[in-house]
Amino acid sequence: MIRLLDGPLAPVPCVSQTAYRRCDDCVSEETCRVRRLMGQVRDAVAGILDSTTLAESSRPVGTRDGQLNYDI
């Protein structure tokens, strides 16, 4: 759902699975450590979003079963 609303999840275009584009200042994608790290970031974000339902994401922050949580 997030991908439909906001587009690609990748923080840099060279790791995007849906909108790949080589970075303008890229010397070598194969040895780029930033690309490898950003790929891990993309995978982590996708894992979280793919395992979260729309109902869960629309629930107000700090609630459990519809009840507000006032713990400090």
Q: Which helix (H) or strand (E) holds 63?
A: strand 63-64
pLDDT tens, 3-51?
A: 767 778 899 999 998 899 999 999 999 999 999 999 999 999 999 888 8
Q: What is the pTM of this model?
A: 0.68
Distance CA 27, CA 49 (A): 32
Tokens of 33: 């450590």
Mean pLDDT of 44-65: 76
Distance CA 43, CA 45 (A): 6
Mean pLDDT of 51-63: 72
Which residue would you say has higher pLDDT here, 57 or 46? Answer: 46
